[in-house]
Amino acid sequence: MPLKTRRWCDPRKKKDGFRLLICRYRPRALPKKDETWDAWYPSLGPSRELHADYYGKHGPPITWDDYRRRYLEEMKAQEELIDELAQLVAEGKTITLLCSSACVKPKKCHRTLLKELVSDRAKKRAQMN
């Protein structure tokens, strides 16, 4: 499936297709002219509260399992947007989900969780057609 993940600071590749930034926060001190994405959907990033809890800003950091559970719960409110992305992927459009430059472990990043959600929906759509 044409759905990828990278960090926003990774160099653009021809195969990236539509680059979508999915962070709650826009990268600091980055001029608009240096943006590497085509669109920014902050609602697909973790909430400010979840972000703070994961990084221990209000006490001990939460575990990855707690983060995963809470992020997936938050994404239930974004069903329509996730369905739109799934439709584009099912149609063969390439989308690259971009996250923070600080997020160096894709397996422990919301971009991978979102990729799974979108991929699952795209597969279902493709099977229905």
Report if pTM > 0.75. yes
Please provide the DSSP assignment of 92-116 as one string.
T--EEEEE-TT---GGGSHHHHHHH
d(CA 119, CA 106): 16
d(CA 110, CA 17): 20
What are the φ and ψ backbone dihedral angles of 101, each rounded to 5 degrees? -65, -25
pLDDT digits (tens, 9 = 90+) for 68-113: 999 999 999 999 999 999 999 989 999 999 998 667 677 888 999 9
pLDDT digits (tens, 9 = 90+) for 15-51: 999 999 999 888 888 888 988 899 999 999 999 999 9
